[in-house]
Amino acid sequence: MLPSLEIFKNIPCPDSPHCKRPQCIFAHGQQPTSSTSTTTSSVIPNKRSRPNPSHQQPKQQKQHQQCSNPSKALNVKKSTTSSRPIARSISSPFGKDPSDRVAHVATFTGPPTIKADISSHTALKIRQTISDKLYEHYRRIYPASIHGNDVAAQRTQDQEQAILTSTSNTAGYKQQAMTILMQLKKKEPEAAKTVTSKTETNNGDDGGMDATFLNTLVLTESQLDAMQYPPRTLLDHPTPAVTKDPQRTCDRCKKPFTVKAILDAKDVKACQYHFGRLRVSQSFGEKLRTYTCCDDTLGSLGCEKGPHVFKEEQVDKLHAGLPFVKVPPSSSSSRPETILALDCEMGYTTLGMELIRLTVINANHEKILDELVLPSHMVIDLNTRYSGITTLAGVKHNLVSIRQALFDLMDPTTILLGHGLENDLKALRIVHDKVIDTAALFPHPHGLPYRYGLRMLATKYLSKFIQTGSDGHDSFEDAGTCLELLHEYVRKHKPSSLQ
């Protein structure tokens, strides 16, 4: 049997006075309290001492004698207690009473550390990276000198957890996180919010951007020509007569076909094409050009069927089909916008590509116009894969009325912003030379005709993922991304004298 530590030697035995243990670890009766040294020695046990069997029997006899007269023992105990205070009789083997310990209170001194969670759908490393970026923004928005050290860290922890809860996979987590980061990037410190709001109100419809600097970003005449914008000289000549050209080349399968005003059942499935792009891949060490839609090689039959469609590129033929107009002077009593970001969605008709949706936002990222448009010719394909439009039910505008709604918001001095905006102006049949094109703000290193796509620019300069859905583009998202790219360009290139 292992030696006793005598931890319980001052605790009354629960079986007393009928205890039958030969070496009981509990106390039997009152301990002698004749002197302070005796009490102190009984409190502090000797861990190395082993009980002596020779003295055990007299001790037990003495204890039984005391227990035979309970009232006397009780009186002795009361008198002893009242005469002097008794020290704590139980000593913790850890040196301090556990009940006196105080729980540790966490204090934030930096980015919160994300704890590992096996139920999380996103890797710990990704979550920690997002948390660090969120903390950088919150530390700027809520300075420690004003709000304390814990506010930024606590908001970071809450925001990261909210992103994780609202998403179901890693891709969604990243997308949501980038959206939140972009919103925080635009948010200004809490201490300067009152002053800044006054400045934004005074700037009005330019969103806080200097109008003088914005005019330096407008495309020059040579840039407009190089990017094939509708020229101003187009309106100097009378509208040419419409020339019917029934033979066209399909924009999808590149085969010639005859344009018909009404399609039959055979025409609806006449085109067999690949909607994906070509890419170079390797198979057993051999480089192959395959399509992203189905991984079939170049020259294979298309994986999708549909009607033959075409897109007219020549401006004079577009002008002959539906005439271009210039922006008239403002007739509205309200002040015209300084800058508008717009994006158009087009569908295929018997005339080529026509406008089927227009979305316009102002410099404050507010949607001020978003309408479906009824084409002037028979619709062949709504181009849903890219336009995101499945039906024109409930349409209220045609080209003329939607164009007038746009003119009510602007005048000839208003700057139009977009990506590849020449296509949008051709669809609107508008001639306008006050244009900022994000494809020109962030040019391809090889120059025209090479261009970066809007999706790539958003990822590279805004750390934002757009056009990720399978149900087509969102024109409001595309227009808003152009506005964010402009803000990013102004932030990096605006001269210090205009700051």
Reading the chain (499 residues) residue by residue, the pLDDT tens digits are: 566 677 887 888 888 778 878 778 888 765 444 444 444 444 444 444 455 544 444 444 444 444 444 444 444 444 444 444 444 444 444 444 544 544 444 444 678 888 888 888 999 999 999 999 888 888 888 887 666 667 888 888 888 888 888 888 888 888 888 888 888 887 777 654 333 333 333 334 566 678 888 999 999 999 999 999 999 998 887 777 666 667 899 999 999 999 888 888 899 999 999 988 888 888 788 888 999 889 898 889 999 999 999 999 899 999 988 999 999 998 766 788 999 999 999 999 999 999 999 999 999 889 999 999 999 999 999 999 889 899 999 899 999 999 999 999 999 999 999 999 999 999 999 999 999 999 999 999 998 889 999 999 999 999 888 887 666 788 999 999 999 999 999 988 887 655 5
Separation between Cα atoms, residue 163 and residue 140, nearest integer Å: 20
3-state secondary structure at position 173: helix
Omega of the bond leading into 32 within 30 degrees of 0 (cis)? no
With residue 353 as reference, give the H or E element that holds it: strand 352-361
List, in order, residues 6 or more apart from 48 with CB less than 8 Å away. none
Task: Return the domain boundaries, the chain.
Answer: 1-101, 124-187, 204-236+323-498, 247-306
Q: What fold characterizes domain 204-236+323-498?
A: Nucleotidyltransferase; domain 5 (3.30.420)
**Can you give the pTM of this predicted structure?**
0.60
Strand partners, 436: 417
CB 243 within 8 A of CB 320: yes
Cα 378–chain centre separation: 40
> Which structure tokens are listed for 472?
């087509």
Buried b (16+ CB within 10 A) or exposed e, 394-415: eeebebeebbeebbebbbeebb
With residue 397 as reference, give the H or E element that holds it: strand 397-398
Q: Which stretches of 189-293 are assigned E, i.e. beta strand? A: 247-249, 256-258, 271-273, 278-283, 286-291
> Which structure tokens are listed for 161?
């957890």
Among residues 30, 64, 415, 434, which one has the least CA distance to residue 232? Answer: 434
Separation between Cα atoms, residue 179 and residue 167, nearest integer Å: 13
List, in order, residues 6 or more apart from 343 with CB less than 8 Å away. 359, 418, 419, 424, 475, 476, 478, 479, 482
Cα 192–chain centre separation: 25
